Amino acid sequence: GHRESNKWIKSTCPYCGVGCGIEATANHHGGLEVRGDSQHPANFGRLCSKGLALGETVGIEGRLLTPQINQQDVTWEEALTDVATHFRQIIEHHGNDAVAFYVSGQLLTEDYYVANKLMKGFIGSGNIDTNSRLCMSSSVAGHKRAFGADIVPGCYEDLEQADLIVLTGSNLAWCHPVLFQRIRDAKAHNQCKVIVIDPRRTPSCDIADLHLPLLPGSDIALFNGLLAFLSENRAMDFAYIDQDTEGLDLALATAFRFGDIESVQAATGLDREQILAFYQLFAATEKTVTVYSQGINQSTSGTNKVNSILNCHLATGRIGKPGSTPFSITGQPNAMGGREVGGLANMLAAHMDFGNPEHTRQISEFWQTDNLARTPGLKALDMFNAIESGKIKAIWIMATNPAVSLPDNQRLSAALANCPYVVVSDCMADTDTLRHADVALPAQGWGEKSGTVTNSERRISRQRRLLPSPGEAKPDWWIISEVAKKMGFGYAFNYQSEADIFREYAQMTTLGQETLTPSSSGSRTGNHGQDVQALSRPLNLSGLADLTPKQYHQLAPQQWPVTQYDQPTARLFGNGEFATPSGKAQFIATDHRPTAEQTSSRYPLRLNTGRIRDHWHTMTRTGLSPRLSEHTSEPYLALSAQDAERFSIEQNKLVKVSSERGCILLRARISKECLPGQVFAPFHWNDCTTSMGKVNALLAGHRDPLSGQPELKATPVCIHPS
């Protein structure tokens, strides 16, 4: 529609899981001016370099503007018919598990909801998974085991209220910069202590009172040691443990097995003094927030790592209380929204579960389908392995670039190249993944899309339309719904707008929750009635289930559950009342296990991977901003002076990095960032932006048996001067 000049429209940044509010207005060059939204509770006006440069990334340069079949422009009608026909034929000949969707934390909740509804509800397969699998699926599995539901109990305000913040497996300064700014400002104001647990000396250490450079993969040993220490020093909250938890004895027995300081020292490589300083501060500080991110999740023991952290918070009763909570910070802007509406292959929408006959009955009735998937589908890497083995014959990839972002991406790209039918929806025209597409569908980009996202603190925010769509770009939910109609499911996909979809989703969260009234949801204490608990799911949006289009348009950022309009919930589980059948939180016995691959004389170094400050994922958008590319213009390898000398590597020269799976070139950066024996490289660059090779080509696809999340931070490599 037509916009008044100088009108600032509120929306949400599309990059990280902080979910900052922005305000934007059109400038004279067809682009956008962007500033922080001073009223948004995630950022109160702050933005990081990526958010500030958003206006530079919205041009039509590099955009996919028309639907294409075999790289020839076609009409939407032709493209949609082609997709529907191929999917229908493949399902007819090979069964409904021969097709799959691989989606993304970049999709809006409404897009995700419709994709999940089509695959699980109508095609009848569980084969929809998301790149969030690579991001936080270990946290999802850990939350479910401990709390009975995938819930982040705290909120960002806790960071300002804490007296101790433990950052573990998180370079918050670069990956979630606005949360880092909030902690830095709080520390200047209230002198809270900050402990950083990370094998690398990252910029997050700049505000650390204590940095524990533990050996890669030894987190469980460290947190099991903490649990044993809390027990030995009687620093536990026994009243809370008795009333609200189960399973401490077994978890403690496991922790005690290697929980003495000497064993922790041996496993983590840390000094006794460092370990004790951490344990004593944790034991003594009631208001402690433990922030954890991909360093915990992206591991073959990611789920156990998460639970080893949650165990320590349960033992001290520090869950969902002001300034006192464990806090999983998700990487992507809508990783959480996707989890809520069934974007993961092992979950149904609205936090309902496969294998629960009551849930499958309620969903089938709600969607009016008799074809709801009954078993979980394939998780991300299994999905691509199934393409390689020929079991999956058609895949639709939406808003993500797996040819770069998956581990072992050379092999999986080859699988994609051999897949009989590949559909890719994207806003960009040239990505490594699009090169394998039979059909390319132009999707709206950020700034053109409209819908909602959920950030790391469960806060639902609106992304609003700021610009007209270029060419023939369409909303993802529209594209999916049109294919659904052509496949014969029209009656269930007749959406007029994203507001219709959100309302339907909010209604779905209320299924079977009639017993949960707003007054009972937040205040039940003591007696945990089994029936009520078995029926209620904390993810409840009953207060948003009758939103008018106008209310949806104006929706203010709010944290779920929302059982009454405009009455969000900042914290959960502060009074116990967990979502487990017994209503009690579960301690989980977690054993320290080594990483999947060990270093050897042939591959003596450990490669860690991650993000840099100014780029996002496979840089298809941040690569458009010259300002953002200035910070780091080339892919690099961080290494220690000792390793540089040992392997004859010179500063700023090219270095050949090899693993069992491949070899790439990187620019050497010798610094104090990595300890000897460890190296680090960012994963952003791809075949479209460098000829030096893709970092994830070096990684194996080893994954956590519980969450399916791959290990991305502990690959044995060797290095040579180029």
Q: Please state the closest distance from residue 455 (CB atom) to ligand SF4, in A.
A: 8
Question: Closest CB to ligand SF4 among 175 and 434?
Answer: 175
Determine the Cα–Cα distance for residues 547 and 507; give it in Å rounded to an integer.
Answer: 10
Question: Closest CB to ligand SF4 among 18 and 248?
Answer: 18
Question: What is the rounded end-to-end Cα distance, in angstroms, of the chain?
Answer: 55
Amino acid type, 493: F
Q: Which residue, 132, 90, 136, is CA-closest to 115? A: 132
Q: Please state the closest distance from residue 551 (CB atom) to ligand SF4, in A.
A: 25
Using Cβ positions, the residue closest to ligand SF4 within the complex turns out to be 51
Question: Closest CB to ligand SF4 among 48 and 248?
Answer: 48
The DSSP annotation for 630-660 comes to: HH--S-EEEE-HHHHHHTT--TTSEEEEEET
Question: Closest CB to ligand SF4 among 268 and 297?
Answer: 297
Q: Please state the closest distance from residue 19 (CB atom) to ligand SF4, in A.
A: 6
Question: Closest CB to ligand SF4 among 51 and 153?
Answer: 51
Distance (Å) of CA 172 to CA 35, 165, 184, 696: 21, 12, 11, 22
Report H helices in 419-563.
476-484, 498-508, 518-521, 530-535, 549-554
Helix or strand run (H / E) with residue 423: strand 421-426
Residues 6+ apart with CB under 8 A from 395: 99, 100, 101, 102, 383, 387, 416, 419, 421, 422, 423
Q: Please state the closest distance from residue 685 (CB atom) to ligand SF4, in A.
A: 19
Question: Closest CB to ligand SF4 among 32 and 99?
Answer: 32
Q: In what order do the strands lie in the sheet with 164-168?
A: 210-212, 193-197, 164-168, 288-292, 325-328
The DSSP annotation for 260-271 comes to: SHHHHHHHH---
Q: Please state the closest distance from residue 63 (CB atom) to ligand SF4, in A.
A: 21
Q: Is 350 helix (H, G, I), strand (E, B) or coil?
A: helix
Question: Closest CB to ligand SF4 among 22 and 403?
Answer: 22
Tokens coding 564: 């009454």
Check: CB of residue 479 under 8 Å from CB of residue 473: no
Q: Please state the closest distance from residue 55 (CB atom) to ligand SF4, in A.
A: 12
Question: Closest CB to ligand SF4 among 145 and 182?
Answer: 182
Residues 140-173: b if buried by 16+ CB within 10 A, e if exposed: bbbbbbbbbbbbbbbbbbbbbbbbbbbbbbbbbb
Q: Please state the closest distance from residue 533 (CB atom) to ligand SF4, in A.
A: 35
Tokens coding 144: 């479910």
Q: Please state the closest distance from residue 176 (CB atom) to ligand SF4, in A.
A: 6
Tokens coding 34: 């962007």
Question: Closest CB to ligand SF4 among 50 and 359?
Answer: 50
Check: CB of residue 409 under 8 Å from CB of residue 694: yes
Q: Please state the closest distance from residue 158 (CB atom) to ligand SF4, in A.
A: 17
Tokens coding 180: 């880092």
Amino acid type, 54: L
Q: Which residues bind ligand SF4 (CB under 6 A)?
A: 13, 15-16, 18-20, 43, 47-48, 50-51, 176-178
Centre a 10 Å sphere on the Cβ of residue 403 and count the other Cβ atoms it contains.
Answer: 26
Q: Please state the closest distance from residue 51 (CB atom) to ligand SF4, in A.
A: 2
Q: Please state the closest distance from residue 109 (CB atom) to ligand SF4, in A.
A: 16
Question: Closest CB to ligand SF4 among 297 and 510?
Answer: 297
Question: Closest CB to ligand SF4 among 13 and 283?
Answer: 13
